[in-house]
Amino acid sequence: MMSRLFIALGASVLMYASAAAETTPPAKPWMNTALTPDQRADLVVAELTLDEKIQLVHGIGWGPLKEGGPVPADNNGGAGEIVGIPRLGIPSVQQADSAVGVRMAALQGRYATLLPSVLGVAASWDPEGAHLYGDVIGREIRAQGYNQSIGGGTNLARDPRNGRLFEYAGEDPLLAGVMVGNLIRGVQSQHVMGDIKHYAFNDQETGRAVVDARIARKAARESDLLAFELAIRIGEPASVMCSYNKVNGDWSCENDWLMNRVLKGAWKFPGFVVSDWEGTHSTEKAVLAGLDVEMPGEDYLGAPLKGAVTAGRVPMQRLNDMVHRLLRSMFVTGVIDRPSVPRFVVDPFKGLADALHLAEESIVLLKNDGTLPLDAGALRSIAVIGAHADVGVLSGGGSAQVDAPGGNAIEPTVSTKWGHVVYFPSPPLRFIREHAANARVQFASGADVAAAAALAKSADVAVVFADQYMSESGDVPTLALPSRQDELIVAVAAANPKTVVVLITGNPVTMPWLGQVAGVFEAWYPGIGGGQAIANLLFGSVAPSGKLPITFARAEADLPHSRIFGLQPRPANDPLEGRWAEDPEKHATFPADYSEGVRFGYKWFDSESKEPLFAFGHGLTYSSFAFSELQVDQQAKSVTFTITNTGKRRATEIAQLYAALPPKCGEKFRRLAGFARVTLSAGEHQSVSIPIEPLTLAVFDEKKDRWTWPHGRYTLSVGGSSRDLPLQASAELY
């Protein structure tokens, strides 16, 4: 047996087995592309030694993520690596975090495009946009020499204070499933492997490594797992990442029900399950429950797995299956047939154009008293205030952090274990100035509230920016904007009634000043095209088209749980009070009792008859639309209706179809069952058909362990938001 040596960047040297007679390479029948990916994977598995098989089911350690650790010579600098088998032509798997763009690109002098938040692209309700989002990530992953993107966040927004919501696609299973599924398709269209995470119920960051999500199986299948089911069906990702938390008593990464029964059994997922980084807790239990690859290291699936296989505690057949799943995904996506050749340079201009387009589609106009769009020609002075809008826009942190070109646009003051709070150099101030060339546009930081109010008073219009940093490994205790920004907005609005607020946040926030301001945009974290996109929408060169993928509550008390499970309140004088702060991670296991089941977000507000601040699906534009002539096709299970642009300019409406199950089911809420993004010129009308996604009408029967469709009359409603549904019809669909 020969060994292949990897020279570590530090003093350490890693050795990996590679049973090879490199001088006489074997014929490689698995390179025959006429065979199916499964046949090709089987042929490779038959050639592998036990050591090689073990090598393919774990990573090499923390690699460049942690200083001082060993790094193989072929390492590409990403979050993970699985060492390949060169003698058989199987490349190493090089993984890069890439939730909203490729992470750590600057580490090796590379550039990556920062896209708007995933929550933002969900707000576009545009599956093509989601595909484009994935294209950008796949393109740049590939150009940078990686062959797997580990993004694809699909956890539902069960709690609007979750620190990672900007990486996820909102609160509805259909919307999240369709958007993430298309995003994954985009990634994999670039011949790299995609991933979907964090499977499952990693719905809060507080105590994420110990929290035990307790939920009934029916509710689980109809909520978070439905989002995964749809995204996996549409996106066919190479892998599924199991999460840190426990679900109903078992760690996700050794949860037989989640992995074997649901994912691989019911959904027939043919790819591999990879653990979140250090999310593996055992060898036999994990592997027999369905875990295929341990990341980032080999604590459980290295030597201990070899021992378990040799002793017969894990059948060789199971190890073969684990390896088969990895290889199959590599063949399906093309990473073996079309290996990525690092060019190290991506196309930043194409990236910017795509990021700008996606940001323009994602920003939601929440309120407008008629002040918007701003009339560039008529304005003589504009006050721009707050959130470092003079230099850039905020980005989200954690493993989703993308490096800012040229470095952080601000002198950072806050740092976490993930690094600093980073602003990207896309300054709204600059783009506002470009639009309003004849106006005096002045900036106030907002640190001095009185000075900001004085500037606002002297201007025709005030645009106040407010932001909130979020990152994985922590949540926020409240929905309030941090750092006295509410106070700033109140003071500015009191000084100038024509005050427009632009929120740059990862999550919904409360708006105690809503009644005093003229307009509000939610811009999420808008990415490298952010400043430009915001200005384009403010001045109306682009009409807003986004709609909320998540409910905005008036207060924490209106949520299913007024507090995040396990969150320790901070002392009142703590400077971090109310702000995102790293979870201390010193918890013993504690339960998160999801007794609300599927009733969170709009389903909660609807069934509890609570008024949200802004409803799921809400979003305004600079035109108006009318809906008419709803028809239901019982056979085809689709609806057809007419949308008319009744306003004065071309704009986009997102038509939403909601279904209520037959009354005997006792559900007191509707379910989103389909949607369509429609762009029309002033006065134009169009007949629109929306097919109903059958799973949105289904009920999961725990006893039969399968979906069932209740008989009876379903009520179908169509309109422009979950709370604005002018058309209704009912039909016996099953």
- Rounded to whole angstroms, the Cα distance separating 402 from 145 reads 17
C-beta of residue 295 within 8 angstroms of C-beta of residue 261 = no
Q: Least distance from C-beta 271 to ligand BGC, angstroms?
A: 16
Nearer Cβ to ligand BGC, position 420 or 637? 420
Distance CA(716)–CA(308), nearest Å, equals 54
- As given in the structure block, the two tokens for residue 676 are 């369509």
Query: Could you tell me the smallest distance in angstroms from the CB atom of residue 587 to ligand BGC?
Result: 16
Instruction: Specify the residue, 223 or 399, whose C-beta has the smaller distance to ligand BGC.
Output: 399
CA-closest candidate to residue 134, choices 198, 194, 199: 194
CA atoms of 594 and 468, how far apart (whole Å):
27
Distance CA 321, CA 554 (A): 50
CB of 197 to ligand BGC, least distance (A): 6
Residue 89 C-beta: closest distance to ligand BGC, Å: 27
Supply the minimum distance, in Å, between the C-beta of residue 140 and ligand BGC. 17
Determine contact, residues 346/144, Cβ cutoff 8 Å.
yes
Residue 81 Cβ, how far from ligand BGC at the closest point, in Å?
A: 12
In contact, 549 and 175? CB cutoff 8 Å: yes
Least spacing, CB of residue 243 vs ligand BGC, in Å: 8
Least spacing, CB of residue 403 vs ligand BGC, in Å: 14
Is the Cβ–Cβ distance between 630 and 718 less than 8 Å? yes
Strands in 154-288 per DSSP E = 195-199, 212-214, 239-242, 246-247, 250-251, 272-275
For residues 278 and 284, which CB has a smaller minimum distance to ligand BGC in the complex?
278
Q: Could you tell me which residues come within 8 angstroms of residue 528 by beta carbon, excluding any fewer than 6 positions away?
A: 113, 114, 115, 351, 352, 355, 405, 424, 426
- Nearer to ligand BGC (CB atom), residue 183 or residue 466: 183
Return d(Cα 69, Cα 145) in angstroms, integer: 21
- Rounded least distance, CB 276 to ligand BGC, Å: 5
Where do we find the tokens 């992995």?
259
> Which residue type, as a one-letter code, is found at position 465?
F
If the CB atoms of residues 245 and 496 are measured against ligand BGC, the closer one turns out to be 245
Question: By C-beta, is 113 or 399 nearer to ligand BGC?
Answer: 399
Q: Tokens standing for 460?
A: 């025709």
Q: Which is nearer to ligand BGC, 275 or 483 (CB)?
A: 275
Footprint on this chain of ligand BGC (rule: CB under 6 A): 79, 97, 150, 197, 276-277, 399, 472
Q: What is the dihedral of CA 222, 224, 225, 231, to 10 degrees?
A: 110
Angstrom distance (rounded) from CA 565 to CA 560: 12
Question: In whole angstroms, how far apart are CA 276 and each of 237, 245, 258, 536?
Answer: 16, 10, 15, 39
Q: 446 near 488, Cβ under 8 Å?
A: yes
Both tokens assigned to 386: 């707050």
Nearer to ligand BGC by C-beta: 100 or 289? 100
Q: Which amino acid is at 459?
A: A
Cβ proximity to ligand BGC: between 197 and 618 the closer is: 197
Task: State which amino acid sits at residue 128.
Answer: E
CB of 118 to ligand BGC, least distance (A): 12
Q: Which helix (H) or strand (E) holds 118?
A: helix 118-124
Q: Taking each helix axis from N to C terminus, what angle separates 224-235 and 173-188, rounded to the nearest 10 degrees?
A: 30
Q: How far apart are CA 322 and CA 25, in angstroms?
A: 25
Residue 587's SS3 state is: coil
Q: Give the nearer residue to ligand BGC in terms of CB position, either 277 or 465.
A: 277
Pick 96 or 436: Cβ nearer ligand BGC: 96
Using an 8 Å Cβ cutoff, are 632 and 639 in contact?
Answer: yes
Return the number of the residue (418 or 590) whose C-beta is nearest ligand BGC: 418
CB of 61 to ligand BGC, least distance (A): 13
Closest to ligand BGC by CB, 399 vs 645, is 399
Q: Where are the beta strands (DSSP E) in 47-111?
A: 80-82, 93-97
Helix residue ranges per DSSP H, 442-529: 449-457, 485-495
Calculate the dihedral angle through the C-alpha atoms of 406, 192, 401, 478, rounding to the nearest 10 degrees. 150
Q: Please, which residue, 476 or 632, has the CB nearer to ligand BGC?
A: 476
Cα–Cα dist 184/188, whole Å: 6
Report the residue number, 201 or 614, with the smaller CB distance to ligand BGC. Answer: 201
User: Least Å distance between CB 95 and ligand BGC?
Assistant: 8
Q: How far is the CB of 204 from ligand BGC (least distance, A)?
A: 13
The span from the CA of 678 to the CA of 689, in Å, is 11
Q: Which is nearer to ligand BGC, 279 or 674 (CB)?
A: 279
Shortest Cβ 557–ligand BGC spacing (Å): 30
Residue in the block written with tokens 């003093």: 11
The answer for residues whose C-beta is within 8 angstroms of residue 90's C-beta and 6 or more apart is 44, 56, 84, 327, 330, 336
Smallest gap, in angstroms, from Cβ of residue 634 to ligand BGC?
43
3-class SS letters over 531-564: HHHHHHHHCCCCCCCCCCCCCECCCHHHCCCCCC
CB nearer to ligand BGC: pick between 197 and 435: 197
Q: Which of 308, 94, 99 is nearest to 184 (CA)?
A: 99
DSSP element (H, E) containing 39: helix 37-47
Q: Which is nearer to ligand BGC, 243 or 505 (CB)?
A: 243
For the bound state, the minimum distance from the C-beta of residue 98 to ligand BGC, rounded and expressed in Å, comes to: 9
Compute the distance between CA of residue 273 and CA of residue 263 in angstroms, rounded to an integer: 9
Which amino acid would we find at residue 244? Answer: Y
